[in-house]
Structure 1
Amino acid sequence: MHFDSLRQTMIDTQIRTWDVLDPEVLQVLQLVKREQFVPAQLQELAFADFEIPLGHGERMWTPKMEARVLQELEIRPQDQILEVGTGSGYFTALLASMGKIVHSVDDRADFIHAAEGRLQMQGVTNVHLHVGDAAGGWTVSGPFDVIVLTGSLPQLPKAFLEQLNPGGRLLAILGESPLCKVRRYRRGADGSLGSKDLFETDIPALRHPASKKFQF
């Protein structure tokens, strides 16, 4: 299959049309081989506007969702990043291509094992993979400049905001299927916290959501 041609078509017809125009984001989408992160039997769907199933009822984000979130995070080369929900490892690779270090957590050991192999094949060396439950927060490796939750939660646990550095950005998908909203938080240099709702979507929930007494 002509993957490079399909990749360019994806960028032109899905990514750019969803107002993803940051040249650094577009370059990363060209460089990271999405077809290497999908299940082998579904490789022909790697560039389709489709949530590719990964097993265990989990699925990849669509390409336009990945690109839009990457743009909204405004990642800088010095950023320390936390990703909750490793999945296939593709979005992990995108984050790693733009930031300094990525800590990615998934509670499914088989996902972590598969992602490790795919990242190694792509020569990605600035990722630390962790098997664990981070739905209520992850304090092992923080604080962080960027935090992204790839599954939805009814509300955001305070623990995540407590791990966000001044100037940091956090993106969470809040609500319950079929209607969730993507919200970006930003911590000011003075420690103040602001948020903005970006768009609506429908994303499966993170497993083991935190108790309501920890929600923000």
Structure 2
Amino acid sequence: MIDYAKVRRMMVDNQLRTYDISDLGVLSAMNEVPREIFAPADMANLAYSDRPLVIAQAEDGETRHFLAPMVFARMLQNLDLNAGERLLILAGALGYEAAVAAQLGVSVSIVEPDAALAEKTRQNLAQAGLSDDVTIIDKPFDADFGVADGFDAILVNAAVEKRPEALLAQLADGGRLVTVMGDGGRTSRVTLFVRSGEVIGDRPLFDAAAQPLKAFREEPGFVF
């Protein structure tokens, strides 16, 4: 029988600490949350792999996946979250990212437009004892989520091929958005966007692989 607590400690020590992740809150949260309960039962033994892992498929064929632990942790670290801030997560791995973020004292909402996956997310969060700590929003990924003052932080647990303007418009002043920019392949990079007044700057951080979201795919251009 696998000792998942031991495997989690190994993930933190061997994958995260060696990948420039030093935020004690992030390290503690990822050591605390049982990643395996958010994976299908027959994939639990793969949950701590150092590679991206597809764990579910929506009715429209789009997948949900774990990012590599070091990629997700470094994205979370770069959001520099403070207790009480409002965090929006898109394309989450059935609640895992929300469970980790909730350990940091932020107010977490997940966007999950697929009814079956939203229900599975609720079940996973209940198993983790977090039913009352996370809000699930059943809207498309590029929708207006109706938060008047905007979100303090947005984490897209996937790749986007184009600048996600619909999401950037929903950042509060000082808000941050982190995502993988590109088609999810070798040239893709985790990018941090920061809003200052009406200006939104961006900064590439590091290379990463992720599944692209259909809602933010680049439209094919004409070839002459």
Q: Say whether the fold is shared (TM-score over 0.5).
A: yes
The correspondence of residues 11-160 of structure 1 with structure 2, limited to 5 A, is: 11-56=12-57, 57-124=63-130, 125-134=132-141, 136-141=142-147, 143-160=150-167
Inter-CA distance 145–40: structure 2 relative to 1 (3 Å threshold): same
The answer to whether the 8 Å contact 2:162/2:216 transfers is: no
Deviates more, 1:162-171 or 1:57-66: 57-66
Shift of 1:139: 2.8
Q: Which segments of 5 or more consecutive residues in structure 1 lack a partner in the other structure?
A: none
The answer to whether the 8 Å contact 1:80/1:101 transfers is: yes
- 1:173 aligns to 2:174 (yes or no): no
Inter-CA distance 148–138: structure 2 relative to 1 (3 Å threshold): farther
Q: CA RMSD in A?
A: 1.8
TM-score, normalised relative to structure 2: 0.86
2:194 is matched with which residue?
186
Inter-CA distance 24–177: structure 2 relative to 1 (3 Å threshold): closer
TM-score, normalised relative to structure 1: 0.89
The answer to whether the 8 Å contact 2:52/2:210 transfers is: no
1:21 and 1:46 map into 2 onto residues whose CA distance is 22
C-alpha deviations, 1:49-83, integer Å up to 9, x for none? Answer: 13222132442111111111111111111111111
1:16 and 1:78 map into 2 onto residues whose CA distance is 26
1:109 and 1:131 map into 2 onto residues whose CA distance is 7
1:126 and 1:55 map into 2 onto residues whose CA distance is 23
The runs of 4+ residues in structure 1 deviating greater than 2 Å are 50-53, 55-59, 136-142, 190-194, 207-212
| Equivalent position SS for 2:205 | strand
2:193 and 2:101 map into 1 onto residues whose CA distance is 18
Q: Sequence identity of aligned pairs in percent?
A: 27
C-alpha deviations, 1:117-141, integer Å up to 9, x for none? Answer: 111111212211122211x243323
